[in-house]
A and B are shown apart, each in its own frame.
Chain A
Amino acid sequence: MVSTLEDRVRPPAAAGGPLSTQEFFINMGPQHPSTHGVLRLVLKLDGETVREVIPVLGYIHRGIEKIGEHQTYRQFVHLSDRLDYLSALMNNWAVSLTVEKAAKIELNDRIQVIRTIMAELQRIQSHQLWWGVLGMDLGAFTPFLYGFRDREVLTDVFEETMGARLTMNYIQPGGLMQDIHPNFVERVKSFLKYFKPKLAEYEELLGGNVILQERLRKVGRLEAKTAVSMGATGPVLRASGVAHDLRKKEPYGVYSKVAFDVPVGTMGDCWDRYWVRIEEMRQSMRIVEQLIDNIPAGKHLLVKPAIVIKVPQGLYYGQVETARGILGIFVVADGTGYPYRIHLRTPNFNNLWSITAIAPGLRVADLVAILSSLDIVVPDIDR
């Protein structure tokens, strides 16, 4: 019996005959270089072709939601750092936003502007790391180090003001932990000046590279409908052509007062996800540029740190757009200083699951590209 090309494309059970192949299972992870942590994907492979992807979670489950029940609202902020550690400030903001909404704490403009600047800087920082890791996953090691090199500049900016580099615990319910450092404005400006040509270089080194485009274009198409039904958010959703950005739809902070565009993809393939993130870096810089010169005067913390914030009985939900999508905090409050229950709607959990819809039929190498373009952070999936 002659094996035709069609036989090879069809699942082997349909092909039959002496040249039919056998599917096998393979564990990608929990120790695998491109699962970015301890994520385990069980792959059903037919040769190099992926037939099915089953994500297996739980390898870095820390029970943050449960621990949160024994922490005051203020203390829970420092746990939110440890969800998606690359968007620590935005996670802090999500918790603070929810608590402020519940406890009816009004903020001044200074706090809002600084929060917005910090969140956008963190978005740039997160995307820098993603860009480097994407390069490394696709076999180019150099972008990884360039990404980290440029990220280091921003990390220093953060460290000078907040004292920490990764888990900042900076944005508090009722304000900010510390006021910005006197050098902050200057440093941010010099960063913007430094990073703009670097971003152009990113495009030269990786974005314009024909090999990268071949690896990403038309690979891992996520249809808009699938993306929405999977609950994907953030750049992943926007790359699929759905212009959904909380910063525009439900503006918080001072996003309603600044001009910026929301990059939206057309096909929903890896290349669109790549482009959306690169463009988001540009837009974030644009936002920071508009705000950095006019930070209003005012106090940086409106609720005394020693006061335990009490949230009136009720159900509260607050959400922000982190670098990876929508982080929602759902709080069941019983009127005390401690939440009765906290649930986290983390962006990576849903983003990861879209891989089950888009990966089948592609190659192992494509799977790596898709994982990379979804930009997952495993501790955020497992909590």
Chain B
Amino acid sequence: MVNLQTSWEVRTLSQRASEALAGGQLGLTTGYLFAGLAGLAVFLAAMALVLVYAERKIAAHFQCRLGPMRVGWHGILQSVADSLKLLLKEDIVPTDADRFLHVLAPFMSLLAAILVLVMLPMSPALQVADVNIGVLYVTAVSGLGALGILLGGWSSNNKWSLLGAMRAGAQIISYEVSATLSLLVVVLFSGTLQLSKIVQSQADGWWIWRAPGVGLLAFAIYLIASVAEINRTPFDISEGESELTAGFHTEYSGMRFAFFFLAEFINMFVVSALAATLFLGGWMPFHIGGLATFNAAMDLIPPGAWFAAKSAFLIFVIMWFRWTFPRLRIDQLMRLEWKILLPIGFVNLFLAAMAVLFGFYFFPVQ
């Protein structure tokens, strides 16, 4: 059996920077740090533009429409035009709103998304930071987004916004539990919390199928819970445009609204990427342990492409949910979490622990 793990050496940007610092190359250090920052900013903007365009096009074709067609070839520049419009729009803060919090809220929302983005292993050479408690960090930080929504809803001084914010708060906190429980399954199997190591542990196969049954179930639970966490249909009760007009961002306009919007799309990418990393092997090509030729053939496709393809697929699935399903009611949402997902998640975690204990999974680690 070829041990592939040695061939995937992870070098994060922060690692390179600290090595440069140790070597006394101060210019290189700042260069790396700056590259990380600028890269993130560019990545954020590009990702939002692409995702918004993709969402509109995909939604249109689900609905027998064409979607944007006018700005550029097949409307490809539509999101550029839209962001320009949002940039130029008047920024309105309601008279009786809590001005400071109202301004702060969109940044909080976006901040949470960016902080998670820092940890994502996009390919062996492309990762900003890699800490040994990656999974813990990601689950903790992504919960911060709820704070932005709560602040936005509270500070707007609008009853609809407040209702939306309260719904969002209850919902996100509940679904975090299930999402974390299903992430723990993978942590149990791979024996590490470090995201890059989790990816490397899937060199013999992705956890979704390597862990018999429990992997798939954990993946399904994570998918449902994460869709709820990022407030998308069928769990978009905090926005619920037909119920709460627009929920927590009713009173936001212009760029501040765009920030909430941006955060939603970045969050969508983050949860898809995280699901891909933990369950679908991240940047790891599709490997089956023992089949050296097959694995070598799969390695021809660069790891970055694998990561992008997996994330894109999951994003498509989330969009597909949105353009098919009606929305749940708040109490049904809670029932789904506390009475269905959570018990199943606990049982699943227990079974996973048993499987790890007895080595009852494909290609056990020696």
Do A and B share a direct contact in the complex (Cβ within 8 angstroms)?
yes
**Considering the chains assembled together, what is the distance between the CA atoms of A211 and B323 in angstroms?**
14
**Considering the chains assembled together, what is the distance between the CA atoms of A224 and B329 in angstroms?**
26
Choose among A135, A137, A149, A211 the residue with the greatest number of B CB atoms under 10 Å from its CB.
Answer: A211
B242 adjacent to chain A (CB < 8 Å): yes
Q: Tell me which residues across on chain A come within 8 A of B323, comparing CB atoms.
A: 141-142
Which of the residues A135, A141, A149, A365 comes within 8 Å of B243, measured between beta carbons? A365
A243 adjacent to chain B (CB < 8 Å): no
Given known contacts A26-B160, A33-B245, A368-B242, is B330 in contact with A48 (CB within 8 Å)?
yes
Instruction: Say whether chain B's binding surface is mostly helix, strand, loop, or mixed.
Output: loop
**Considering the chains assembled together, what is the distance between the CA atoms of A137 and B241 in angstroms?**
9
Q: Tell me which residues across on chain B come within 8 A of A308, comparing CB atoms.
A: none
Given known contacts A48-B330, A211-B325, A363-B330, is B163 in contact with A142 (CB within 8 Å)?
no
Cβ distance B341 to chain A, nearest Cβ, rounded Å? 15
Q: Tell me which residues across on chain A come within 8 A of B330, comparing CB atoms.
A: 48, 363, 365
A209 adjacent to chain B (CB < 8 Å): yes
Q: Tell me which residues across on chain A come within 8 A of B240, comparing CB atoms.
A: 139, 365
A32 adjacent to chain B (CB < 8 Å): yes
Q: Tell me which residues across on chain A come within 8 A of B236, comparing CB atoms.
A: 139
Cβ distance A234 to chain B, nearest Cβ, rounded Å? 23
Q: Is B329 a contact partner of A366 (Cβ separation < 8 A)?
A: yes
**Considering the chains assembled together, what is the distance between the CA atoms of A206 and B63 in angstroms?**
14
Q: Tell me which residues across on chain B come within 8 A of A368, comparing CB atoms.
A: 242-243
Q: Is B328 a contact partner of A140 (Cβ separation < 8 A)?
A: no
Q: Tell me which residues across on chain A come within 8 A of B159, comparing CB atoms.
A: 24, 26
Cβ distance B202 to chain A, nearest Cβ, rounded Å? 33
B3 adjacent to chain A (CB < 8 Å): no
Q: Tell me which residues across on chain A come within 8 A of B237, comparing CB atoms.
A: 365
B64 adjacent to chain A (CB < 8 Å): yes
Given known contacts A145-B64, A368-B242, is B163 in contact with A138 (CB within 8 Å)?
no
A 23-42 binary contact with B (CB < 8 Å = 1; else 0): 01010000011100000000
CB-CB nearest in chain A for B63: A145
Q: Is A211 a contact partner of B326 (Cβ separation < 8 A)?
A: yes
Cβ distance B47 to chain A, nearest Cβ, rounded Å? 23
Number of A-B pairs, beta carbon distance below 8 Å? 77
Cβ distance B332 to chain A, nearest Cβ, rounded Å? 5
Q: Is A138 a contact partner of B245 (Cβ separation < 8 A)?
A: no
Q: Tell me which residues across on chain A come within 8 A of B245, comparing CB atoms.
A: 32-33
Q: Tell me which residues across on chain A come within 8 A of B65, comparing CB atoms.
A: 145
Q: Tell me which residues across on chain B come within 8 A of A137, comparing CB atoms.
A: 242
Q: Is A212 a contact partner of B326 (Cβ separation < 8 A)?
A: yes
Interface set of B (CB-CB < 8 Å, partner A): 59, 62-65, 159-160, 163, 167, 233-234, 236-237, 240-245, 323-332
Q: Which 8 A-B pairs have the closest CB atoms?
A: A139-B327, A138-B326, A140-B326, A145-B63, A34-B242, A365-B329, A137-B242, A139-B326
- Residue pairs across A and B with Cβ atoms less than 8 A apart, 28 shown, are A33-B241, A48-B163, A136-B242, A138-B327, A139-B240, A139-B242, A140-B233, A141-B63, A141-B323, A142-B63, A142-B323, A142-B324, A145-B64, A145-B65, A146-B63, A146-B64, A149-B64, A205-B324, A206-B326, A209-B326, A211-B328, A215-B327, A363-B329, A363-B331, A365-B327, A365-B329, A366-B329, A368-B243
**Told that A32-B245, A141-B63, A365-B329 touch, could you supply 15 new A-B pairs with CB distance under 8 A?**
A48-B167, A135-B326, A137-B242, A138-B242, A139-B234, A139-B236, A139-B242, A139-B325, A140-B327, A146-B64, A209-B325, A211-B328, A365-B330, A368-B242, A368-B243
